[in-house]
Structure 1
Amino acid sequence: MMNIWHGLLFLLVLVTISEGKLNVLLIVADDLRPSLGCYGYEPLITPNIDLLASQSVVFNRTYAQQAICGPSRASFLTSRRPNTTHVYDQHTYWRKRGGNFTTLPQHFKNNGYVTFSVGKIFHPGAASGKTDDYPYSWSVPPYHPSTQQYKMAKVCPGPDGKLYMNIVCPVDVIAMPEKTLPDLQSTQHALQIMQNVSRFPEQPFFLAVGYHKPHIPLKYPREYLNLYPLDKIHLAPDPLMSNDIRTY
């Protein structure tokens, strides 16, 4: 049986070479489980990740050190277990509780790289010192998409024509606040950073891009709904339900 870490998925991409040093792109997706084509899961259409996986090392046995964001991110970004960082919740900063441990981006920064954080890399707030661990880990203050503030906004259309605060719903991006979505903003900002740093090929960079999705609340562009017609969606079997139970 395959055991795969599904709390967070992180992808390490070596982008280009700068003066003999590799530039690094770290992509983190929140709550992305292995329901992906590259893991043999056919119902979902995931061509971009599948393409990346086809050119990469794919791990089939990886394990989350903790089940929630703050401790898990502190663990893999410091390469230490939660019983070393002493982070078990969303409010504890490892530098104050466990020790002044060097993080992955901090190591690159200490070795001549310029480091950037876009979106959700460390768990924001108290769990990262209310600074996303800046300036220890990052050369410039981390970027967070402005539209994340609307994550609980009433933007999901109901059958009565009114807007509701659904956990999951398709939306028309042009109708959203600021006419975009958080992860779209993060992607555009990351692309802008890469364009800017390309003008300085002698300077190696470490760019971490953290996507909030598929963590709920999940608002996604309506066009993706067309990829999954309802008549093609089947409920997963419930192993705890007896076949003898009558349905009405």
Structure 2
Amino acid sequence: MAFSVVFAAAKTTNAQESTPPPQREESRPNVLFIAVDDLAVALGAYGHRIAHTPNLDQLAARGVRFDRAYCQLPLCNPSRASVLTGMRPDHIRVYDLDRHFRDEQPDAFTLPQLFRGHGWSVARVGKLFHYNVPAGIGTNGLDDPGSWDEVFNPKGRDVADESLIFNPTPQRPISAAMSWLAAAGDDGEQTDGLIAGQAIHLMTQPSDKPFFLGVGFFRPHTPYVAPAKYFDLYPLENIQLPVAPIDDSADIPAAAFAHNCQIPNYGLDELTCRKALQAYLACVSFVDAQVGRLLDALETL
């Protein structure tokens, strides 16, 4: 059966109008839309020196990879709302993490609505529209109910394990934003593992309709929680910290600081920073493995 995969890590769009999907039965593929939260270019496909991402690299090799993708408004909620409505943040008036796009555009027509209206079975598993993380895991967040036939909000042991890592220490004073855990157990106990499992279940159900399935993974958003085996891929001695230019903010317009405060230097030592980067890369590899599960399931359809 034909299928298409849309992968969104950096969320960019400039579309103002949508074109209806083709109506010929033979050209109605299944569509898998994958979103990964806070994924930078820490991928082998983008030349990262040590990132272990074989599944995303394979997907990039098979499809179209964007080397100059620009985020219209570098914040989660505006970016996701823009991608899924095809409207610029200025048009939907979403600039922060709390406003729903329908407050300004109640009649907006979303991408999943478009497929739903043309005969696709449309479902969401995990984070597509904005959620606060980790507080929103297992909830609907700022979802758009009219966009979906079915929604699923898995909640794994990583949520219960937050109490193990959220207490700040003198070496790690910024708590949740700098928290990580090499978790016990396997992939299927984590929220993102449950998301992949639920998505595979939906994909493999018999249906007389093609599907549009939105699958949104929470990692590598903080806190950096992944099974311990993914941490083992990145020995600390192999972790190199990026160079931070002294004048890094010199080319940022003054207006940008009207909403976003200057981020202070928390004085974290080098070892703590290397552990944080190790944890981030572990989460990237963990999500890569979940994407691999989805792609393997697609091949069996």
Q: Secondary structure at the match of 2:204?
A: helix
Structure 1 unaligned residues grouped into runs of 5+: 11-16, 159-163, 242-248
What aligned pairs does 1:60-139 form with structure 2 within 5 A after superposition? 60-124=67-131, 132-134=143-145, 136-139=146-149
Distance 1:188 1:100, change over 3 A: same
TM-score scaled by length of structure 2: 0.64
Whether 1:182 and 2:205 are equivalent positions in the alignment is no
TM-score scaled by length of structure 1: 0.77
Aligned to 1:206: 212
1:58 to 55, 65, 82: 65
Give a deviation string over 1:145-190, Cα, whole Å, max 9, x none: 12278267223599xxxxx97711211126x9xx711100100000
Q: Mean Cα displacement is larger for which, 224-233 or 54-63? A: 224-233
Distance 1:99 1:63, change over 3 A: farther
User: 2:166, 2:96 → 1: CA distance?
Assistant: 35
1:146 to 137, 152, 155: 155
Q: Secondary structure at the match of 2:201?
A: helix
RMSD of aligned residue pairs (Cα, Å):
3.0
Q: Mean Cα displacement is larger for which, 147-156 or 68-77? A: 147-156
Whether 1:36 and 2:43 are equivalent positions in the alignment is yes
Following TM superposition, by how much is the alpha carbon of 1:238 offset from its aligned partner in structure 2, in angstroms? Answer: 3.1
Counterpart residue type for residue 64 of structure 1 = C
Aligned to 1:193: 202
Aligned to 1:13: none
Q: Secondary structure at the match of 1:70?
A: helix
Counterpart residue type for residue 100 of structure 2 = Y
* Contact 1:8–1:32 (Cα < 8 Å) also in 2: no
Q: Secondary structure at the match of 1:132?
A: coil
* Contact 2:43–2:52 (Cα < 8 Å) also in 1: yes
Counterpart residue type for residue 190 of structure 1 = A
User: 2:160, 2:10 → 1: CA distance?
Assistant: 20
Moved over 6 A (4+): none
Report the structure, 1 or 2, having the larger strand content: 1
Report the structure, 1 or 2, having the larger helix content: 2
Following TM superposition, by how much is the alpha carbon of 1:38 offset from its aligned partner in structure 2, in angstroms? Answer: 0.5
